[in-house]
Structure 1
Amino acid sequence: MLLLNIYICVYAIPKILVSLLQIFHVRKKMQQSPILLPQAEFQQAGLYTLATQRLEMFETFFDVLVLFFLLRYGLFEFEAFLDEQMYFGVFTSTLYVLGVLFFLNLVKIPFELYKKFVIDKHFGFFRGNLKDFLIDNLKSVFLLFVFGLPIIFIAIFIITSSPYWWIYSALFLSVIIILINIFYPTLIAPLFNKFIPLEDEVLKTQIQSLMVRAGFSSGGVFVVDASRRDGRLNAYFGGFGKTKRVVLFDTLIQKVSKDELLAVLGHELGHFKHKDIYKNMLFIVAMLTFLLFIIAHIPEEVFLTESGISRLPHSIIAFVILFSPLVIFWLMPIFGFMSRHNEYQADKFGATLQSAESLRNALLVLVNENKSFPSSHPIYIFFYYTHPPLLQRLKALGFESN
């Protein structure tokens, strides 16, 4: 099976090798003097990294088995089943793609359960329960059908309408990405978490003053009940236009000082000031266009040989879904390089809005509370890091380690 061999050699094996390099690197560093963190926290961060990397490797191996099953049996058998039940038109093709997506989400659930209920719970992150986990997954399935159905339906119509479908599909997906960014903060995110307006009037005034200095306007400052599920810290700006809002994790408010919190928000405002969100969206669109171009030019013989199904709209979309990880893996270093540059610029901007010292202190709290191991293998950084290594960020902000 040509495509399976390409997937294994170009994606699975390199991905596992990168994880192995990271594991060996972290093990070696754990035997040395701690960096940035106290000894106990340094060891905990290392153990957490090792546990997640082992799981990542096993999941990659499992992905190969899933792909083998779908190419050898699943795609053909599912198509034959639907063909027996109903006329294979646009609606049936849409159901086919939804079925593939549902199956792929279903086989990922054991890994999510292990990650949350074993690894994250052991290291003090996960605070939810099985009921919350199941409800969240049911909500995700609901969103998949409500929003996925029309999106897939239109995508199939586009594929059947023009030989240049991959160009029009890329334009259509660009619109979808924009709409997701507009409606996610107000329509989707509240389905999973509770958002309440910030009650601390002093802090709210300070945040609004910070936003005015950066030329940013928002629809409000909200606190999300992140601690109900997880102990990690974060804050972000979401949405476009009137849907823009500032979102603070309640865990962040609990763990950092007001000056440090303002410094974190100053960093996020730096992304707004430099229009990084638009740059990221353009890159995602370019990546999708490249992937669609590749799939569009795969000969029909390959579809028949590899999976036993013809090169039809539903099979084209299925191949896009199945082989997108391969393309993303090799394009991510380009995105990472761009993103790390943007992070330095955002740090610089945040330091001017608040202070470099406050931002440095906030980053140290974040690395401690989030159990981020402060050292990674250069190859791992090359493939996965969207943020610069913490020590380099701190040095750029004037921090001198011992």
Structure 2
Amino acid sequence: MDPIFTPEQLAEIKEYHFPWYVRSAVVPLINLGLLGLMLGVLNKPYHRFAEATAARLDRRFSALRTAPGSRVFLKVFDRLWGGSGWGAALIFALSLQLTFTVLFFPADVYFSYILEHRYGMSTYTPMRYLGDTFKGVAMGCMLVACLVFGLYGLARRIKRWWLVLGVPVAVLMLLASSMIDPYRGRLFYEQKPLEAGPLRTQLTALLARADITFADIVVEKTSVVSKRVQAYFAGQGPTRTIVLNDVILREFTEGEVLAAVAHEAGHVNESKWPGRIASSLALVLFLFIIDRLLRLSASRGWFGTTQFADIRTVPALMLLFFMVTTVFGPISGAFSREREYEADRFALRLTGDPVTFRQMLVKAARVNKMDPEPPRWQVLKGMSHPPIGERIAAISQP
């Protein structure tokens, strides 16, 4: 049986992944240090800056408070926040977000642009890279605004805000969030239906055997930024869509595309409700813990807080989120890797063609430069997929 990589390919892959492993080991420590710095040293200066900036803006644009259109707009924010002062809160939270963005920007450019180009994995042009980076920053700022008004604003106005916020969001996670998945990719990539032909016919027949209904099969033009192959299912029920990127259609044979989609079909047949219910309950519990943290901070004056749901506790919430994801990341990764193995087994039962399935995995590993044997600590830290070498070995066993 042919090896996955030649010695030259393997050496290049190890060189490519080494900086990523260093980053994976170092970034959590950097984040922890930055959050500690934000809580212990920079919290007060940032808050003073936010209050001073908000006061200057309020004086300069005071006419907006009485203008017919903007008056209504600003009153809506007053109501969402539970009074005045939301400007300083928003500036404070956005300042923290942008600080992390600026500090990590050089590393992000190196890893997502320079390193990817150096090893032939990226087709990003500088302007498109900057455009997508700007979209990412804008989306991050929108999430921060949702945090300020949706969490802090609600907590200031409603006693059991964690139930009022947590239950609807949990229900949304259970029923609706996955249905909008097919539309997220369109923010960054052009999509068009897969043209009629043998491949579309074979995919339709494959999914009929798997008893999976779907709305469409689309091709996502990711080759404008990357040379990686990709296939996935997006959405649920009436919005379920099979997404193939244009690279996989160029690099894979029709049989290998079928094998890749068969693997993704295995994920569709997973029992998702236990995980979704557990995630929804965990969200409500996490919001309750945040409520306890906000109340404890207010009662003891931590971080300079003077009232419940003081915006100065944002770094503490970031630290809490960091600790939760660090602790539960390995557990989540272990479950995810087992699901990948089960999806492989499902694909083999569905296609009955282990030879083509192995060829698909080998080609994906070569095109995407997957490390067949990453450091064990990296796997246990929370890798969502098993090492490609282990996956290939598993399907090769009788």
Q: If the length of structure 1 is used for normalisation, what is the TM-score? A: 0.80
- Within the alignment, does 1:215 sit opposite 2:200 as a pair? no
Equivalent in the alignment of 1:366: 364
Spell out, residue by residue over 1:7-47, the C-alpha distance to the aligned partner (whole angstroms, 9 max, x if none).
xxxxxxxxxxxxxxxxxxxxxxxxxxx96321111111111
Which protein is bigger by CA-based radius of gyration? Answer: 2
Pairwise mapping of residues 368-387 of structure 1 onto structure 2 (< 5 A)? 368-387=366-385
Percent identity between the two aligned chains: 21
Determine the C-alpha separation between the residues in 2 that align with 1:344 and 1:197. Answer: 30
Match of 1:6 in 2: none
Question: Larger RCO: Structure 1 or Structure 2 (Cα < 8 Å, ≥ 6 residues apart)?
Answer: 1
- The one-letter code matched in structure 1 to 2:252 is V
Distance 2:39 2:172 in 1: 29
1:183–1:239 Cα contact (<8 Å) kept: yes
1:329 is aligned to 326
What amino acid is the match of 1:244?
R
Q: Which letter does structure 1 place at the counterpart of 2:42?
A: G
Equivalent runs, 1:36-75 vs 2, <5 Å: 36-75=4-43
Mapping 1:272-351, distance limit 5 Å = 272-276=268-272, 278-298=273-293, 299-300=296-297, 304-305=301-302, 307-310=303-306, 311-312=308-309, 314-351=311-348
**Separation in 1 of the partners of 2:238 and 2:134?**
29
SS in 2 for 1:397: helix
> Separation in 2 of the partners of 1:107 and 1:200?
48
* Match of residue 183 from structure 1: 180
Report the residue type matching 1:232 in the other structure.
Answer: R
Deviates more, 1:101-110 or 1:216-225: 101-110
Change (3 A) 1:232 1:350: same
Deviations 1:293-324 (A, max 9, x none): 4433333279744x333452534454323431
Consecutive unaligned residues in structure 1, runs of 5 or more: 1-33
Match of 2:233, SS state, is: strand
Deviation at 1:195, TM superposition (A): 0.6
Deviations 1:185-243 (A, max 9, x none): 22x32121111111252111111112222222222111111111111111100112332
Whether the 8 Å CA contact 1:239–1:245 is kept in 2: the answer is: yes
Q: 1:226 to 1:359 in 2, by over 3 A?
A: same
More displaced 10-residue stretch of structure 1: 383-392 or 131-140: 383-392
Give me the TM-score of the superposition, normalised by structure 2: 0.81
Q: Give the direction of change, closer, same or farther, for the CA distance of 1:317–1:70 in structure 2 (3 Å limit).
A: closer
Distance, in Å, in 2 between the alignment partners of 1:295 and 1:146 is: 21
Asked if the contact 2:207–2:213 (Cα under 8 Å) also holds between the matched residues in 1, the reply is yes
Matching of residues 144-183 of structure 1 within 5 Å: 144-146=140-142, 149-150=145-146, 152-175=148-171, 177=173, 179-183=176-180
Which residue does 1:15 correspond to in 2?
Answer: none
Aligned residue number for residue 4 of structure 1: none
Alignment gaps of 5+ in structure 2: 56-82
Match of 1:11 in 2: none
Does residue 264 in structure 1 map to residue 260 in structure 2?
Answer: yes
Query: Secondary structure in 1 aligned to 2:99?
Result: helix
Q: Provide the aligned length of Structure 1 versus Structure 2.
A: 364
